[in-house]
Amino acid sequence: MRLRAFSNREGKAHLLAFFLIMLLAIAARLPYLFQPIRYDESWNFLWFGTQSIKYLVSHYLSNNHVFSSLLMHWSYRIFGDGVAAIRLPALLAGILVVPTTYFLVHRLYDRDSALLAMGLTASSSFLIEYSDLARGYTILILFFLLTLIFATYLVNEDNLAMWILFVLCSSLGFFTIVVYLYPFGVVTIWLFFSILHHSDREVRRRRLIHFFAALLAIVALTFLLYLPIMIKSGPSSLLQGQSHFSRSWGDFVKEFPRFASDIWRAWNRDLPAVLSAILITGLIVSLLFNRRISSFRLSVFIPAIIWVPTVVLVQRVILYPRFVLFLLPIYLGMASAGICFLLEPVKSRLGRMGNSLIPFIAVVLSVALCIGVFQNRSIEYSPEVGNLKEAVEITEYLKENLRPGDRVVAIIPSTFPLYYYFPRYGLSVDCFHADPYGSERLLILANNLKPFCQTWEGVLEVSEICLESLSDFTLPEELKRFDTSVIYEMRRTQHLDARSP
């Protein structure tokens, strides 16, 4: 009955496009579910995912997305330690981001804008990639979109269930990653000023009381969720990453343009330049005509461009593009609203056929963009969260060629993916920790994927292995070349006069 009501309200073409885009979103993400595990994923799985729940919720390092690690742990216990099982929570969240974007944009604008935004979200190269990485970012995005949906209802109605859901999703967002501070600030600022715009003074006063009560509840619940970690690891452990990434004012000013450029490239990866220009035009149009196309006076983009840069400025941090990935569905939604507004005269001229225009564009555009993602292979070659592209091939090769007395020399981001695969192929990771000077052979792995571009000299230097002390070894020679990595060999000889290059 609900499906029929949805079809009658939105139209059959709209409903068909909705389900086609959902199928496309799933189909676009499934192939990457089985790509080789990456550094951050394997590190988090081996350090936290395989541990007990008690350990998980009481120990913290900046790479541990606690709620995501819990979901990973449960998936691992049920389905095993394969990459698909490890990534399953992130995949499900990434798929759910697509319809959640639709419902949010529908609330903020209209059904056509929602459908177009849904299609762009389903086919976004960056969102597809993070849907298949066992990290907490798609979960964070999902909580952000849900809290924003709840906020759109709370502006117009004082609903206890909505306030409870708002508190729960916000707290779980913080429990996933502490950088939820960025999306949380956007939602709360938007909700606060939207409530202030209410014309009835008494209603405004009552909702502001509930708003601040909700904020206190979020603080209290988040504190309780992190209490075991603060007791065991100390409160400072939650902020350890901030001091590491903080820059001096001079470095911050110098690097900020690169930060903005990296975000723009990530959001527009695999998009034709023409489409990128159309999207930015749509964003500008949606801002200029917000009063005409939205049922809410304040655009979500306004608190976003105020809050996020302000916090970044205060912290003096240069964020990875993935830290602001939560804003990408909002950007696509607002751009879609502006595009649909511009296409309104065309729809009017088409008469009844105009109702099928946006559904048609959304589906065709989504299919074309997904094809582009696969053809460009940008996800396969992406360095995000530390990619050793040939981790499986390298493990298989070493399984056949490792000898007793070998030392494998590798550095970030190559180490933990191999730590993950070695036991699965019956290999011991002890060869990574053997004394290099007492080994019979050194196998040096250089990851040449951009931007790592490792050399054997650099790998030895980072590993603190002195080439001058390896005088009874041959100079490094290429042993095996893969697509984006190379294994070099140094053999022990009787010639003690081997010279450094």
263-307 pLDDT, tens digit each: 999 999 999 999 999 999 999 999 999 999 998 999 999 999 999
Task: Give yes or no: residues 255 and 360 share one domain.
Answer: yes
Task: Give yes or no: residues 280 and 211 share one domain.
Answer: yes
Query: Where in the sequence is the domain holding 237, given as residue range(s)?
Result: 2-376
Give the residue from 325, 346, 376 where a domain finishes: 376
DSSP conformation class of 45: I
| 409 beta partners | 444
pLDDT over 60 at 241, yes or no:
no
Task: Give yes or no: residues 308 and 425 share one domain.
Answer: no
Q: Is residue 497 part of a domain?
A: no
Q: Is residue 8 part of a domain?
A: yes
Give the Cβ contact number of residue 110 at 10 Å: 18
Task: Give yes or no: residues 255 and 403 share one domain.
Answer: no
Task: Give yes or no: residues 362 and 410 share one domain.
Answer: no
305-317 pLDDT, tens digit each: 999 999 998 888 8
In 268-327, which ranges are continuous DSSP H helix? Answer: 273-288, 290-293, 301-315
pLDDT over 70 at 53, yes or no:
yes
Task: Give yes or no: residues 355 and 411 share one domain.
Answer: no
Task: Give yes or no: residues 242 and 372 share one domain.
Answer: yes
User: d(Cα 60, Cα 350) in Å, to the nearest integer?
Assistant: 58
Q: How confident is the model at residue 61 (pLDDT cuts 50, 70, 90)?
A: confident
pLDDT over 80 at 351, yes or no:
no
98-133 pLDDT, tens digit each: 999 999 999 999 999 999 999 999 999 999 999 999
Q: Is residue 87 part of a domain?
A: yes
User: d(Cα 317, Cα 326) in Å, to the nearest integer?
Assistant: 18
pLDDT over 60 at 499, yes or no:
no
User: d(Cα 313, Cα 221) in Å, to the nearest integer?
Assistant: 28
Alpha-carbon distances of 177 from 63, 73, 180, 304, rounded to whole Å: 9, 16, 6, 18
Give the residue from 376, 403, 425 where a domain finishes: 376
Structural domain tally of the chain? 2
Q: State the distance between the two ends of the chain, measured CA to CA, in whole angstroms.
A: 76
141-169 pLDDT, tens digit each: 999 999 999 999 999 888 899 999 999 99
Q: Is residue 501 part of a domain?
A: no
Q: How confident is the model at residue 243 (pLDDT cuts 50, 70, 90)?
A: very low
Q: Are 111 and 10 in contact (CB under 8 A)?
A: yes
